[in-house]
Amino acid sequence: MARTAVIAGVGPGLGESIARKFVAEDCQVGLFARSAEFLESLAADLGDDALAVPTNITDPEAVEAGFREVRDAFGPVDILVNHASGGAWKGLQDISPDEFEQTMRVSAQGSLLCAQEAVDDMLADDGGTIIFTGATSAVRGRGGALGFSAAKFAARGMAESMARELGPEGIHVAHVVIDGQIEPPQRRETQPDRDRAEFLDPDAIADSYWQLVMQDRSAWTLELDLRPHVEEF
């Protein structure tokens, strides 16, 4: 039976890799992001099992409408990937209150709104999976990136709280710490013979996300940290 997934925050790179992996594993995938042009191009490439849903995930009405569109096309949602993030890369003295608030709205509030929509489907069915994309800044604040670090800490706390609340209901909540730089799409295209040890491969990360979906309920992962291999590690 095909699963229905929503990936919130799909762009070139890891978001696209997750979408491709899930479709390859017979999922039907709703693609959420604000960039309609990229989403439509990716959905067309992925075929009938992908649906472009241009969505501002900080807007409750837009999120509700987006999930309704996915349900109408594919049925109840079994998998949610909270992948969207953003932030002004500024420190304490430079970031404005508006910039800080917007960062929190995307990473924390957006994840909250999407999770609230998805969980109703999962509770009514046989559970599901919610995955948060984290970063090094979710466990160790980054200098000069106050808003980004605060938002990633918030999302990590949400994941841990939700895991304890929803685990007994059959919903697997996991947080993935991306501890390193993800290989940019343009580098993959222009440097096919590159040394890849210093970067995380987005396709390999997507494989790990799928493994989280497939884990047995007796041995769920709460937090998974991924980093590139470097000899001095």
Q: Where are the domains of the chain?
A: 4-226
CB 154 within 8 A of CB 100: no
Task: Tell me which residue of 206, 134, 137 sits closest to 173, measured CA to CA.
Answer: 134
Q: What pLDDT is attached to residue 197?
A: 63
Phi/psi at 119 (5° precision): -65, -35
Based on C-alpha coordinates, what's the Rg of the chain?
17
User: What pTM was computed for the model?
Assistant: 0.92
CATH of 4-226, one of 3.30.470.20, 3.30.70.260, 3.40.50.10710, 3.40.50.720: 3.40.50.720
Q: From CA 148, how far away is CA 218, in angstroms rounded?
A: 34
Phi/psi at 150 (5° precision): -60, -40
Task: Tell me which residue of 74, 227, 95 sits closest to 150, measured CA to CA.
Answer: 95
Q: What pLDDT is attached to residue 85?
A: 86
Q: What pLDDT is attached to residue 193?
A: 55
Task: Tell me which residue of 32, 79, 81, 28 sits closest to 53, measured CA to CA.
Answer: 32
In three-state secondary structure terms, 193 is coil
Q: What is the pLDDT along the chain (233 residues), one digit of tens a residue?
A: 679 999 999 999 999 999 999 999 999 999 999 989 999 999 999 999 999 999 999 999 999 999 999 999 999 999 999 999 877 789 999 999 999 999 999 999 999 999 999 999 999 988 999 999 999 989 888 888 899 999 999 999 999 999 999 999 999 999 999 999 999 876 655 555 555 567 899 999 999 999 999 999 999 999 999 998 764 54
Q: What pLDDT is attached to residue 233?
A: 45
